[in-house]
Amino acid sequence: MATSPAESTTSAIERSFLLLQLVAAADEPLGVRELGRRSGLPRSTVSRLAAQLVELGMLSRSGVGGLVSGPALGTLIPGDEAPPAALEDRLRPLLVECVQRFGESAALTVDTPTGALYLTNVLGPSAIQAPDPTGERLDFHLVAPGLALMTSWDDERLGTYTAAPLPAATPLTITAAATLRDVVRMSAERGYAWADQALDLEVNGVAVLVPGADPVASISLYGPAYRLNPSDRPDLGDALHKLVREQAPGLLGV
């Protein structure tokens, strides 16, 4: 017997609700494969429903590639009981503004015990782009947002980090502890950090701390070194710092 449209819709709603329950109950982001295992649904069904739920804002894709509860779920909870939106959702309008104003890709990165984690990004308008770092966790001294995050550290954490070997990704990576400490100090004084081809040759970045962010976070611009560098754009760091300080507190509610 053929399934009626009403029965088909009910089945889809039940399956979608099951996926939402599983994601909400999980302690970490869930991939499609794991959601299929926990739900007992075919992977193709999970993939299709998850894509629809992401589009509706009921689920979001995390920086590490899994699925987490989305900001639209908060609209189902009345008043002050609604959970706050994820950091990347609240700051995405600022990333978009950075791209529109400065013409380069913008990224949001947070401080973790094991490295600078790129949560999300917004690509710039140019056809020539640097690689998308979303989901990567990188050594702090290799990237501009990592250097910016280091300006928030106390002396003990900075000393511990610089006492360990500093691996080089390119010939321009800072590997001397004293030099790195000087760069962090100067970055803290001026309010922004530049990284000159430290992770990838021909790719630069400039980053600032996000005031009031929890966890500690940085917003950065990144792109090809031939067009993104402090020699050609000496005022970019100050302009980015000013924009983030003006707009981030309102978006974060602090």
Percent of the chain with pLDDT over 90: 61
DSSP codes of every residue in 135-184: T-EE-GGGSHHHHHHHTT--HHHHHHHHHS----SSTTS---HHHHHHHH
Q: Lowest-confidence range among 24-38, 67-81, 112-126, 238-252?
A: 67-81
Where do the domains of the chain lie?
A: 5-81, 87-252
Triad 175, 181, 182: Cα angle to 5°: 105
The CATH number for 5-81, chosen from 1.10.150.20, 1.10.10.10, 3.40.50.300, 3.30.70.20, is 1.10.10.10
For 87-252, the fitting CATH number among 3.10.20.810, 3.30.450.40, 3.40.605.10, 3.30.70.1140 is: 3.30.450.40
For residue 26, count CB atoms less than 10 angstroms from its CB and return exposed for 0-12, middle for 13-18, buried for 19 or more: middle
Rounded to 10°, the helix 155-163/177-190 angle is: 140
**CB 148 within 8 Å of CB 208:** yes
pLDDT digits (tens, 9 = 90+) for 134-171: 778 899 999 999 999 999 999 999 999 999 999 999 99
